Amino acid sequence: MMKITQGLALGLLLLLLSFVSACNSVPKKTENVMDDNAEKYSQQRQDLPKQSEKPTITPKAKVTSQVTQAEPSVEMIKLQPIEEAKAIEMKAKPMFERELNLIADNVNVDNTKLDVKPKRSIDKPKRKQPNQVVVEAKTQVQAQTKPTPIEFVDIKDETAKPTESTALGEINGQVILFAEGGKKMDATEVIVTVEELGTKKIQPRSPKTHTVNMFHKIYQPSHLVVQTGDKIIFDNLDDFKHNVFSSSGSNKFDLGTYASGERPAVTLSKSGLVKVYCNIHPSMAMFIMVTNSNRYFITKADGQFHIKDLPAGSYILKVWHIRGESKQFFELKAGESLNLKVKLDTKNYKPTLHLNKYGKQYPKKSILFEDDNEFY
């Protein structure tokens, strides 16, 4: 019995020793495994780029994608190892560039996540209040909306075209002066005017100012046509005094005696011929025709005249020359070009001396003038 008890005790002791030995062997094996994993992990960390250094990566990894027209999607993306990525370009359509960048940011190479910033950063919109969203949306629409340029189209008004009843006409003609014996004369400075009969269609122009120079005892110009309401300035360019006046009906005037450099003026308001003289120098004379319309012509030596822009209607053609005058009626159709010939017989013309502003003859010798003690 004693021997059996000793044997059991010995067996229990051996079992206890074997259990202790087994427990001591397990940590060593686990420690060896952890050491092996730490060594591999350290080797991988050495192969990866350091945080202070920016890894050199191709602009985009090579992407092979298949896209259907019905549902655009990226089916397959192949990323080459980091060592070969330098020589690869990403080829993808622009419409999927944003999706590809987002996918490439989350791809693991050798079970290691690349800490590389995408080439194209995408900012997440900040959370905004509903009121702000509405206001900013309107602002963006206004900023993006460009004003439509205004195109000016030349619209032709068909009604503005001259019709048969509104088209303007014209007259062309010649004044022929005949002296005693039927001899033709020089027709210089014949004043030709046109006046409407009945309804007035020709609109008068705005009042105008004319200037007449007096130089070497001569009026320049010697013949002038003005419209009622026009103003005429008489500029004394001589070294001595003049006294401009006229005794012609309602347009008579007297500018008085004035010295060199002075420029008095007169306004003529009645139609008709105005004969202008100088009360100091009897040889000075000029002729002003005042009309209600601005349709007139002053001829040259050949006596030809041309008056345009005449509406259809009835007219009277007035011709005046110092040796004689005449009148002629004519009808003008719309758009018509009418030729007229005026013959003026001046064989009965006899020159006469004009009177001074007092209605008297000019003295033959120098006498004292009554108005301003001016000698002539």
Instruction: Tell me the per-residue pLDDT of 120-173, one tens digit each, with 9 for 90 and over.
Output: 554 555 555 555 544 454 555 455 555 566 555 555 555 555 555 689 999 999
pLDDT of residue 70: 46
Q: Is residue 99 very low, low, confident or very high in pLDDT (cuts 50, 70, 90)?
A: low
pLDDT of residue 47: 56
Residues 2-6, mean pLDDT to the nearest whole number: 69
Q: Which of left, alpha, beta for 182 (phi over 0: left; psi -120 to 50: alpha)?
A: left
pLDDT of residue 364: 77
pLDDT of residue 294: 87
Distance between CA 272 and CA 250 in Å, rounded?
A: 9
pLDDT of residue 61: 44
Least confident stretch, 147-161, 199-213, 227-241: 147-161
The distance from CA 113 to its chain's CA centroid, rounded to whole angstroms, is 64
The distance from CA 165 to its chain's CA centroid, rounded to whole angstroms, is 36
pLDDT of residue 48: 53
Distance between CA 150 and CA 158 in Å, rounded?
A: 24
* CATH top class, domain 169-345: mainly beta
Residue closest to 85 by CA, chosen among 59, 104, 65: 59
- Does pLDDT of 178 surpass 70? yes
pLDDT of residue 150: 59
pLDDT of residue 324: 93
- Does pLDDT of 102 surpass 60? no
Q: CB within 8 A of 347, min separation 6: which ones?
A: 178, 179, 180, 181
- 354 to each of 221, 272, 314, 319, 360, how far by Cα in Å? 19, 18, 36, 22, 9
Q: Is residue 365 very low, low, confident or very high in pLDDT (cuts 50, 70, 90)?
A: low
In this predicted model, which residue has the larger pLDDT, 274 or 126?
274
Distance between CA 120 and CA 128 in Å, rounded?
A: 24
- Does pLDDT of 183 surpass 80? yes
Residues 195-199, mean pLDDT to the nearest whole number: 89
Least confident stretch, 197-201, 268-272, 327-331: 197-201
- Does pLDDT of 344 surpass 90? yes
Q: Is residue 220 very low, low, confident or very high in pLDDT (cuts 50, 70, 90)?
A: very high
- CATH 2.60.40.420 residue ranges of the chain are 169-345
- Of the spans 114-118, 195-199, 303-307, which averages the highest pLDDT? 303-307
pLDDT of residue 219: 98
- Does pLDDT of 275 surpass 90? yes
Q: Is residue 355 very low, low, confident or very high in pLDDT (cuts 50, 70, 90)?
A: very high
Q: CB within 8 A of 294, min separation 6: which ones?
A: 202, 204, 205, 227
Least confident stretch, 130-134, 337-341, 345-349: 130-134
Residues 174-184, mean pLDDT to the nearest whole number: 92
- Does pLDDT of 218 surpass 90? yes
